Amino acid sequence: MMNKNTVLGWATFIMILMGLLLVCLGAFRYDDIAGYGFGAVGLGFFAIAWVFNALKGRV
């Protein structure tokens, strides 16, 4: 059974993967202004993953 820390660990892992995907899309796929948007959203995903990781063990 998954407890709260395991769920936060998986959420952190998925958020890091999605953040990497969005940053890579912004860097390599889109050459116009949309690339900056994808990169910014990817950095936001990294920030949320950092918060999830900080919450592990405290919830």
User: Could you write out the DSSP letters of every residue in the chain?
Assistant: ---HHHHHHHHHHHHHHHHHHHHHIIIII--STHHHHHHHHHHHHHHHHHHHHHHTTT-
- pTM given for the model: 0.85
Residue-wise pLDDT for 6-55, tens only, equals 999 999 999 999 999 999 999 999 888 999 999 999 999 999 999 999 99
The one-letter code for the residue type at 30 is Y
- Whether 59 shows a pLDDT value over 80: the answer reads no
Q: What is the pLDDT of residue 57?
A: 82
